[in-house]
C-alpha cells in the first residue's frame, strides 16, 4: 500500500472515531443511557422520579406568595408532600429493595395525612 492510501485510511479511521465520540452521547441518550453518569441505564422509574421532582419545583416556583408565612409554608409543603407521595408510588412500583419499598409505603401514608392537614391550614383565614 502506498503512503497516500495509508494516510487516507488513517484519516478516515480518525474521522470515524471522532464522529463516534461526538455522536456517542446522543446515541447513548437515545438508547436510554444517562450520559452524565457514564453508561448507567436510566430506567423508566428513575426518569419518573426526576420528572416529578422537576415539575414540583416549577409548581412551587410559580406559586403566588400570600405574605402570610403560615399559609405560604402550608401551601409549599403540601406541594412538596404531593411530590413525595408520587415519588413513593414510583419506588413502590419499580423499586427492587424491599427495605426502601417498605419505607416508601410508610412515607406515603405519613405524607398523605400531613398533606391533608397542611391543605386545611393553607385554606384557613388568619
For cell 406541594, the residue is 79
Residue 69 near residue 119 (C-beta atoms within 8 A):
no
CA 12, chain centre distance (Å): 40
Between the alpha carbon of residue 64 and those of residues 30, 60, 72, 75, 87, the distances in Å are: 37, 9, 9, 10, 24
Residue 78 near residue 118 (C-beta atoms within 8 A):
yes
Paired strand residues for 33: 41
How is the chain split into domains, by residue range?
1-42, 43-126
Q: What is the pLDDT of residues 55-110, one digit of tens each?
A: 999 999 999 999 999 999 999 999 999 999 999 999 999 999 999 999 999 999 99
Q: Which residues contact 76 (CB under 8 A, 6 or more apart)?
A: 60, 63
Q: How many residues does the chain have?
A: 126
User: Whole-angstrom Cα distance, residue 33 to residue 31?
Assistant: 6
Q: What is the pLDDT of residues 21-63, one digit of tens each?
A: 333 344 344 444 444 444 456 789 999 999 999 999 999 999 9
Amino acid at each position: 500500500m502506498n503512503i497516500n492510501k495509508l494516510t487516507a485510511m488513517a484519516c478516515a479511521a480518525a474521522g470515524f472515531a471522532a464522529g463516534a465520540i461526538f455522536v456517542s452521547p446522543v446515541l447513548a441518550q437515545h438508547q436510554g443511557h444517562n450520559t452524565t453518569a457514564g453508561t448507567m441505564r436510566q430506567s423508566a422509574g428513575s426518569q419518573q422520579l426526576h420528572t416529578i421532582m422537576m415539575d414540583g419545583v416549577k409548581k412551587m416556583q410559580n406559586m403566588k406568595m400570600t405574605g402570610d408565612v403560615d399559609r405560604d409554608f402550608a401551601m409549599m409543603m403540601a406541594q412538596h408532600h404531593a411530590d413525595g407521595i408520587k415519588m413513593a408510588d414510583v419506588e413502590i412500583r419499580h423499586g427492587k429493595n424491599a427495605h426502601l419499598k417498605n419505607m416508601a409505603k410508610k412515607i406515603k401514608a405519613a405524607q398523605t395525612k400531613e398533606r391533608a392537614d397542611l391543605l386545611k391550614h393553607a385554606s384557613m383565614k388568619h
